[in-house]
Amino acid sequence: MSDTDRKNPGDEDASGTKQTGENICPTCSGSGRISEKPCPDCGGSGRITAIVGDA
């Protein structure tokens, strides 16, 4: 139950997976909030895990 294992709806893959990187959440633009509520895509962190590999 560690934070690094948690996957948010906006994550393209699990954190720590090969060819992934941290990106600003496009849903909330990194604020972590939408209309004063925690952003559902990033879980309020303002960042998502995105796949950066080009293969």
Q: Is 48 exposed, middle or buried (0-12, 13-18, 19+ CB in 10 A)?
A: buried
Residue 3 in 3-state DSSP?
helix
Among residues 11 and 41, whose Cβ is nearest to Zn ion?
A: 41
The distance of closest approach from Cβ of residue 35 to Zn ion in the complex, given in angstroms and rounded to an integer, is: 12
The distance of closest approach from Cβ of residue 20 to Zn ion in the complex, given in angstroms and rounded to an integer, is: 17
Asked whether the CA dihedral 53, 32, 43, 45 is positive or negative, the reply is: positive
Q: Which residues bind Zn ion (CB under 5 A)?
A: 25, 27-28, 39, 41-42
Among residues 15 and 28, whose Cβ is nearest to Zn ion?
A: 28
